[in-house]
Structure 1
Amino acid sequence: MLKFAANLTMMFNEVSFPERFELAARAGFQGVEFLFPYQYDVTELKTQLKHHQLTQVLFNAPPGNWLAGERGLASLPNRESEFRQSLELVIEYAIQLECHQVHIMAGNRQTELSEGEQQQQLIRQLTYAADKLSDYGINILIEPINPFDMPDYFLKYISQAENIIREVNRPNISIQFDIYHCQKTQGNILHNLNHYFKNIGHIQIASVPYRNEPGLGEINYPWLFSQIEKLNYRGWIGCEYHPAGNTTEGLFWLNKVNHNLSIAY
């Protein structure tokens, strides 16, 4: 059975963030994810989840100075202490929200380091994070992001993510497989899903090229969902897309696939 989670950073933005939990639940979603929750009181978020009987599937670790262009701290030199301190905030929110997955962004390319040196920095920090977060039952996700949307981002390819996971060598780190990013960077979605499946902990979806509702672009999502179900995927699928119009009206794609698959949403 495929399980879909609404991404509240992108979806239901017709209303304020705290109100999006209710709209997601009313639309039939049982799980939610979002990027950075830290500007909101964790008690209020917990209340929204409990009141609307929603599961918190995923959120992101602090990314550094987002407005200044930073996209994560884990591979950045001389930011080790800041990164490790940020994990305390991750733990606080994860415990309160009963969330067992956190996406740790790698950070932008640092030209003062070789690519190999920067990757080793990333591996060291992820190893530290995996050991620390494992005490709280938290799994780390790392996500390759396409170079068209985020040209300076260090982690671009799924093979690179797999190599990092192999080097970290901890059971609580896996790939956040975003189908939108995969299609824009590499294509061959089904091949990559099959090839890297044992290391995939979370899947995200959006249409290509405009990152709107699945079904509006070049990917045949109904067929792809049937293939994901055949893989016996048990994790969540995050709906990380920008609605082309009203979010609820745009859920036509989910109603269509619901007739042919075993789906909880």
Structure 2
Amino acid sequence: MPRFAANLSFLYQEVPFLERFDAAARDGFAGVECLFPYDVPAVELRARAEALGLSIVLINAPPGDWSTGERGLASIEGREEDFHDSIERALAYASAVAAPRVHVLAGVLGAEDERNAAIARYEERLHWAAMQAARSGIDLMIEPINPQDMPGYLLQRQDEAHAIVERIGASNLKVQMDLYHCGRVEGDVVAQVRRHLPSGRVGHFQIAGVPDRHEPDDGTLDWRGALAAIDEIAVTTGWEGWIGCEYRPRDATSGGTSRGIRRWRNSKD
């Protein structure tokens, strides 16, 4: 059965960040993930998770200057040194909190940027980063993101992400398959799960409703079909990853969780 992780950067925003660990545990989550936890000392973050029996399953590498529109440095010309620094910081933090996965954002193409050159930089830097991460036993994730939410983002399609992972050939470089972004760009998420999960290149899933990014049962996303496909394929392939609940709650987080993800989880117990 799929394992669900609460994304603490999206869920439980009605309480301070560290209190969200307690809320996630009360709602029955076994894992948590978050975007950029670096303002919290790693020892404090790990202690809170361990006290509640929660696994920290994913964090993001620092993305550059988010306030100025930077969404990752991996493909950005002239930012190689900054990218290296971001990866080193992310790997040190992930090791300290026992997080086995780090998501590396690709970056946004500028109006004058040449896409093929950006892809070449991206692949070269990912290759370097994967080698650094392997020394710490950490998997790196790359994630296609839809252009409505993040205009100009370099990586938008599942097939392109899988082709990049295959070309680089690092066993610890995987695709983070967000069913919300996939649904916005490619539509049939069940077909995409069935196509890509058996490949061994999917390291993590995330889920939210389409098109408004609320609870998975809000909108057009075939969340039941997608979760059933993940469940079925996991049994035959041995996939043991997580599904991050990265959505914007319509109201209080716990109520929406109980109506959607928790209902699925309980139906499978």
TM-score in terms of structure 2 length: 0.94
Letter in 2 for 1:258: R
Cα deviation for residue 255 of structure 1 reads: 3.1
TM-fit CA distance, 1:169: 1.2
Contact 1:226 1:261 in 2 (8 A): no
| SS, match of residue 177 in structure 2 | strand
**Aligned positions of 1:52-63 closer than 5 A:** 52-63=52-63
Q: Which residue of 1 aligns with 2:246?
A: 240
For residue 173 of structure 1, what is the aligned residue in structure 2? 173
Q: Which moved more, 1:110-119 or 1:188-197?
A: 110-119
Aligned 1:162-241 pairs, distance under 5 A: 162-197=162-197, 198=199, 199-232=201-234, 233-241=239-247
The alpha-carbon deviation at position 111 of structure 1 amounts to 4.0
C-alpha RMSD over aligned residues:
1.2
Q: Map 1:27-176; keep pairs closer than 5 Å.
A: 27-176=27-176
> Post-superposition shift, 1:176?
0.4
* Contiguous gaps of at least 5 residues in structure 2: none
CA deviation after TM superposition for structure 1 residue 45, in Å:
0.6
* Runs (4+) off by over 6 Å: none
- More contact order relative to length (CA 8 Å, sep ≥ 6): 1
CA-CA distance at 1:86 after TM superposition: 1.5
Contact kept, 8 Å, 1:36 with 1:62, in 2: the verdict is yes
Encode CA deviations 1:3-48: one digit per residue, 9 max, x unaligned: 0000000001110001101111111111000000111111211111
* SS of corresponding position for 1:248: helix
The C-alpha deviation readout for 1:49-86, integer Å capped at 9, x for no partner, is 11111100000000000000000000011100111112
TM-score (norm 1): 0.96
Q: How many Å apart are 1:242 and its aligned residue?
A: 0.5
Contact 1:110 1:118 in 2 (8 A): no
Deviation of 1:244 (Å): 0.4
Q: CA deviation at 1:260?
A: 2.9
Aligned-residue identity in percent: 39
- Report 1:249-260 matches (<5 A): 249-251=255-257, 252-260=259-267
Amino acid corresponding to residue 114 of structure 1 in structure 2: E
CA offset digits 1:159-200 (Å, max 9, x no partner): 111121122111000110000000101112111112221211
Unaligned 5+ residue runs, structure 1?
none
